[in-house]
Structure 1
């Protein structure tokens, strides 16, 4: 793992007091590394985990040519453009799960069910609803299909020996089904990432404590818990840590010994009078940033070592929305890299702004927005209103963040903007 100074030297124009948002992710991509260690899990237990190795198909899928329809299988070479085709119906039916025992003669067709093995010599299936049946004859109208239609080919999905899934993929429901379709009862995955989290500050109240003047209940602990849980990591909840050197030192050392990554909220602003930044400096190799963004701006990153183990540190701002925005924009992609994911950058959706958005170039803004579909079918987005970094209710109302990039200016009604959607993240 590279040191803070080594990474900083590799980034052209690096300035911790005015860091563009794009450079934050470049920095973090150099700072973090995938964790070592794998688990072998049953398919039911592998949802949301990251593949540690390619999954190579031991079989071809499907294992034989089969019918994609309920209908009649025949030799499609007999079709003639502009002419109907009448075939003699052979005895028996080809059902899924067992091979048809007969042999089709020239001019014959075989009744076949979806998924059934294609009888030898037959390569086309006409759906039941297309044909006219009279006694033991089947007539196919002219120009309703071509040779090879409605036949699934052997290995059409996967051939034996082909990589079905790649290392670094996160296993979703479709991937679980694909693994099971290969007859594989288990799959190798990267071990679960361990992330310790605590809030800092003497003004923070935990749930159950009596309200007092100047104090606020801790919401960050719960939003970060939810964000981490959605990622599938092992969350080590360390509660609220008072702004006292001894308590902070114990918390940081304990977290570094237990976890791969540490997340804190509060105590990283340039003007903070508390001990959090001082303890980060004392215990680790840490950079303190002023990011050219809104909301967010202050952030600390680095690593803390304890007992021969190194944990990556993410010190987030204290305001509730700023915590969530910096997590989604920066921390989440970095943690995904640590989990072994190969696709970490969020996919941005294009939508037309339903209102004027005022902005000056020189910083990235993440405005809470709601994406809907307009009357003409196009996607449109409008803000949730008050964009203050303490308005946590706006994150509930929104379904994504409108990303106004560093060099971008004001947005007019109808202009396209990028949106980082929340689906699957919060």
Structure 2
């Protein structure tokens, strides 16, 4: 079974979207703590060796390997942070974990393996290995080698690594600026009283939080009245300062859905209506040179459209190397499903049973059931024309 020619397949639509996205190039210097979740602007080479010198991985005694198997005078005591003197020939040094190995020594024996004779000399065992218990210079990072590639999204692990190199600031890409619009006279902000026919606007907080988590800066949040004039005015205003205009609602074919004709008037509409369920009425184009993505107003369709299209779009725009492709996993279906001409995304819970992913479907897959997205941790991806039975292998993507 093939898709209707009026509906663009999901993979083709995503490819078409991404090929029109140019990553942001502007960068800024930030302190490490402020660089959390930001995108590294350029390849980072190690400015120093880590560790900067050979050091001991044990509390014990540092010596020249050739002097093993005999009593040795303890000529110095070296603590972590101290600068050692060169080791006198035929002696050893009392050394502690993390302390620098003195010149002339190349081996550390654990203190538990050493006894002292009546003269206070260390009796060194014979059965040692040259270089044992020594962390060599540059063991972790060698000066000049690549540490992190451009496009890396920094987190607490990277920040610790950068601090180990002595870096107090780092160059990161500018955050994409997103204007977020919600179309619909029926929408009311949470906390306000509901009048007959109205619903609470769940898309705005959902998308605002997701955008910020993906590293974007939300610069405008606005509810747009269901008129052509209000839609045109809001989109033109959004195009003045944003890198991406993201709207929800108004992209279907009803008399009060004005997104499509307005974008066609003041910009360009690159695609509209996708062979996916839920989320068919999705629009992409540009307004005054600014990227435009229009998601359906239905909350679950908004959520799934954001997972499938917004994440990779924003990943490429922000310069994130890892966020542009969604990893597919294989799981065993514990449900039945029959798809027609659209690729369907089922809200499922993925769990591992005896090393294999098992997928349970939420019992109500209606696109208005937003509570399902808090229950699910994955989306099963069902191609058009599928007849899924329990035990069948299906693809899924993880969500969080």
Q: Considering the TM-score relative to the shorter chain, is it more than 0.5?
A: yes
5+ residue gaps, structure 2, are none
Deviating more after overlay: 316-325 vs 232-241: 232-241
C-alpha distance 356-141 of structure 1, shift in aligned 2 (>3 A) = farther
List aligned pairs for 1:226-237, cutoff 5 A. 226-237=209-220
Q: CA deviation at 1:338?
A: 1.0
Q: CA deviation at 1:254?
A: 0.6
Question: Who is 1:325 aligned against?
Answer: 304
C-alpha distance 14-419 of structure 1, shift in aligned 2 (>3 A) = closer
RMSD across aligned positions (CA)? 2.9
Question: Who is 2:81 aligned against?
Answer: 97
Q: CA deviation at 1:298?
A: 1.6
Question: Who is 2:171 aligned against?
Answer: 188
Question: Who is 1:399 aligned against?
Answer: 377
2:250 touches 2:259 (CA, 8 Å); kept in 1? yes
Q: CA deviation at 1:407?
A: 7.7
SS of alignment partner, residue 337 of structure 2: coil
List aligned pairs for 1:399-418, cutoff 5 A. 399-405=377-383, 410=388, 412-413=390-391, 417-418=394-395
What is the rounded CA distance, in whole Å, between the counterparts of 2:42 and 2:3 in structure 1? 36
- Is residue 385 of structure 2 the alignment partner of residue 421 of structure 1? no
Question: Who is 1:250 aligned against?
Answer: 233
Residues 194-228 of structure 1: per-residue CA shift (max 9 Å, x gap): 00011112222233443233321111111111111
Question: Who is 1:339 aligned against?
Answer: 318
What is the rounded CA distance, in whole Å, between the counterparts of 1:277 and 1:352 in structure 2? 38
List aligned pairs for 1:278-297, cutoff 5 A. 278-297=261-280
SS of alignment partner, residue 298 of structure 1: coil
SS of alignment partner, residue 259 of structure 1: coil
What is the rounded CA distance, in whole Å, between the counterparts of 1:367 and 1:127 in structure 2? 58
What is the rounded CA distance, in whole Å, between the counterparts of 1:97 and 1:271 in structure 2? 72
Question: Who is 2:31 aligned against?
Answer: 42
5+ residue gaps, structure 1, are 1-12, 80-84
What is the rounded CA distance, in whole Å, between the counterparts of 1:123 and 1:105 in structure 2? 12
2:72 touches 2:92 (CA, 8 Å); kept in 1? yes
What is the rounded CA distance, in whole Å, between the counterparts of 2:384 and 2:62 in structure 1? 61
What is the rounded CA distance, in whole Å, between the counterparts of 1:407 and 1:43 in structure 2? 50
Q: CA deviation at 1:183?
A: 2.0
Q: CA deviation at 1:418?
A: 4.0
TM-score (norm 2): 0.88
1:16 touches 1:287 (CA, 8 Å); kept in 2? no
Residues 152-173 of structure 1: per-residue CA shift (max 9 Å, x gap): 2212222222232222211111
Aligned length: 396
C-alpha distance 402-178 of structure 1, shift in aligned 2 (>3 A) = same
SS of alignment partner, residue 282 of structure 1: helix
1:16 touches 1:289 (CA, 8 Å); kept in 2? no
1:104 touches 1:121 (CA, 8 Å); kept in 2? yes
SS of alignment partner, residue 303 of structure 1: strand
1:292 touches 1:364 (CA, 8 Å); kept in 2? yes
Q: CA deviation at 1:272?
A: 5.6
Deviating more after overlay: 210-219 vs 388-397: 210-219
C-alpha distance 28-92 of structure 1, shift in aligned 2 (>3 A) = same
Question: Who is 1:367 aligned against?
Answer: 346
1:193 touches 1:339 (CA, 8 Å); kept in 2? yes
44, 48, 66: which is aligned to 1:55?
A: 44
TM-score (norm 1): 0.83
What is the rounded CA distance, in whole Å, between the counterparts of 1:16 and 1:126 in structure 2? 75
What is the rounded CA distance, in whole Å, between the counterparts of 1:391 and 1:105 in structure 2? 78
What is the rounded CA distance, in whole Å, between the counterparts of 2:367 and 2:140 in structure 1? 48
Question: Who is 1:156 aligned against?
Answer: 139
